[in-house]
Chains A and B, each alone.
Chain A
Amino acid sequence: MERQEILLEMNHVEKAFDGNGVLEDISLQVREGEVVSIIGPSGSGKSTLLRCATLLEKMDGGELIYLGKHACRQEQDKAGNSYCSYASKAELREIRKSFGLVFQNFNLFPHYSVLKNIIDAPMSVDKVSKAEAIARAEKLLAQLGLEDKADSYPYQLSGGQQQRVSIARALALQPKILFFDEPTSALDPELTVEVLKVIRQLAKEHMTMIIVTHEMQFAREVSDRIIFMEQGVIVEQGSPDEIFATDNHRVREFIGKMNA
């Protein structure tokens, strides 16, 4: 297989909250078209990693690079302590356009209709014409089986529908990478299925995705690579077959528990 362009690079990422290390020396690369799942117990730092990658949280050390552009570089102050030097606001705004994020609890805008949730950011952030934004939205709604929901408000939808709308909202900005932060954790099993179906479909279309999830079988089936994190470090990573057949006692134990 031909090597695809590296879209995201994180090198030696460090993050601490009040002196407690949450991420320690995390490095990972994601290439175009790859689907990467991050699994691991609660408190392992996987959500924090996602929040650092999406610039919602500032890293304390390491590098974050999107499409060859540095969102932040590691530098040293006069005392020799390393810190993260983030790019300018304008540069970060440009970098933010390369990714989208789907939240665990959707975070749709409740005062906007489904259509407005999807078209507003393209129009007011990317200055896309209204006709173009609506065309994109209608296409996405049809793809996600929500064509009859354009005029509904988020409170009128089921959790699964809301999560699909939030996926459409993210896709409408045509990101290169889509992050998912436990996209089905707030949903019951039936609704989980409809959201996973959408993500599976996106994987087939070679959307680059990084998914923090507790759905082991789903991760196995949809991912090109699975990363297992615990206590702020990457314990193991590899293809789903490698991870599910690993000798690492801790990984086996976790996967066993999750499948039980």
Chain B
Amino acid sequence: MDFFTLVTQLAEGFILTVEIFVLTLLFSLPLGMIVAFGRMSKNTIIRGIAKAYISIMRGTPLMLQIIVVYFAPYYVFELQMGRGYRFPAVIIAFAINYAAYFAEIYRSGIESMPVGQYEAAEILGYSKSQTFFKIILPQVIKRVLPSITNETITLVKDTSMAFTISVAEMFTIAQEISAGSTSIMPLMVAGVFYYIFNLIVATVMEYLEKRFAYYR
């Protein structure tokens, strides 16, 4: 296989990698906020459920979670999901896993806000939702961005775990070509792809952090 063909094939897999990455963020970032609210709820049942959820998601391997999400419909409910379920299963597993991590990041950010900010907003007459969206959330985003960056970079590399259920993203393809051609080259090239992807992610996050650097 010549180099050009190799890169073209990996690039096709790379599109799927990017899709997993984007869709996971799209679902897990908001879902994490909901879980964080559950975790901070005054209702002990809701708080307990959120706590258990976070604990299980963070305490078990992502690879196991992917397999469980993929096979559960069949083993538990005897539902035949077909090959088309592979990709959604990966997205579901990634989204619920990353939501747990994001929830803890949001929670620590929200809990680090000085109570004076809430009190000032209350005295000035802001409603609860105005206080959250205008006063608290913008400051929380600034505080949690570095941690979000870390998770995001980890996610880029974690997308390779879709390999577990043979979703043809870049790592799966690289592995196949490598095995077929008994060459390390495809894996090295895939590594370069991941590295460049993460450079871009880091640059974008750095830009966002700078956008929030106008105040202290």
Interface 1/0s, chain B 139-170, versus A by CB < 8 A? 10010000000000000000000000000000
Contact of B215 among A56, A100, A110 (CB under 8 A): A110
Chain B residues whose CB sits within 8 angstroms of the CB of A107 once the complex forms: 114, 116-117, 119-120
Dominant SS at the A interface? loop
Q: Is the CB of B139 within 8 A of A111?
A: yes
Contact of A154 among B116, B123, B130, B215 (CB under 8 A): B215
Chain B interface residue bracket vs A: 10 to 19
A79 contacts chain B at the CB level, 8 A cutoff? no
A153 contacts chain B at the CB level, 8 A cutoff? yes
The smallest C-beta distance from B167 to any residue of chain A, in angstroms, reads 41
Bound form: Cα–Cα A154–B138 in Å: 16
Tell me the count of chain A residues lying within 8 A, CB to CB, of chain B: 26
Bound form: Cα–Cα A169–B126 in Å: 13
Bound form: Cα–Cα A101–B135 in Å: 18
Bound form: Cα–Cα A125–B135 in Å: 13
Interface 1/0s, chain B 94-132, versus A by CB < 8 A? 000000000000000000001011011011111000100
The smallest C-beta distance from B57 to any residue of chain A, in angstroms, reads 31
Q: Is the CB of A105 within 8 A of B122?
A: no
Dominant SS at the B interface? helix
In the complex where A96-B125, A121-B124, A126-B125 touch, is A56 in contact with B119 (Cβ < 8 A)?
Answer: yes
Bound form: Cα–Cα A50–B215 in Å: 31
| B residues at A contact (CB < 8 Å) | 114, 116-117, 119-120, 122-126, 130, 134-135, 138-139, 142, 214-216
| A residues at B contact (CB < 8 Å) | 54-56, 93, 96-97, 100-101, 103, 105, 107-111, 120-121, 124-126, 153-155, 169-170, 173
- Pairs A-B, 6 closest by C-beta atoms: A107-B120, A107-B116, A125-B125, A121-B124, A155-B216, A153-B215
Besides A103-B116, A108-B120, A124-B126, 4 new A-B residue pairs in contact (Cβ under 8 A), listed by A number: A96-B125, A101-B123, A126-B125, A153-B216
